[in-house]
Amino acid sequence: MRAVVQRVLEASVTVEGEVVGRIDQGLCALVGVAQDDDGRDVELLVNKVSQLRVFQDAEGKMNHGLADIGGTLLAVSQFTLLGDVRRGNRPSFTLAMDPERAQLLFEGFCAGVRARGITVATGRFRASMRVALVNDGPVTILIDTKKAF
């Protein structure tokens, strides 16, 4: 699984003019599921995102995670994170998992973060979404459960 995680002051997802997910201070995670991902990848991503220390403590150091600050997570499925452009300019998405199975793993990720006591808002799987956010910092972290980067 791959994720682009951004520290935000606020974020929202709109589908067909309706806001379907919205958070205040917290993290916005764009999440892509690869063909060979499984429950181990879900658990790895749950652990990383829920424990990611990117919020400042009293000394200005990034020592706090979502639970420490009472923050929330906006999780947005995004298969395009698996886009491969090494052979040209049009992305190939052959590395992305088929949507039916990917949805199960994405929902497992959201459930795993919720089980840690963190409130999770989401977009709508397989919908055309408009994601709006106010990046705080900016702080942007890339996570790949296969440690590709």
Contacts of 4 by beta carbon, 8 Å cutoff, 6+ apart:
29, 30, 78, 81, 140, 141, 142
Asked if 80 is an active-site residue, the reply is yes
Residue type, 9: L
Strands 120-122 and 72-77: parallel
Element (H, E) at 139: strand 130-144
The catalytic position among 35, 51, 80, 140 is 80
Please indicate whether residue 140 is annotated as part of the active site: no
Question: Which residue is catalytic, options 79, 106, 109, 122?
Answer: 79
Contact 2, 81 (CB under 8 A): yes
- Which one of the listed residues 78, 109, 122, 145 is annotated catalytic? 78
Q: Report the catalytic residues.
A: 78-80
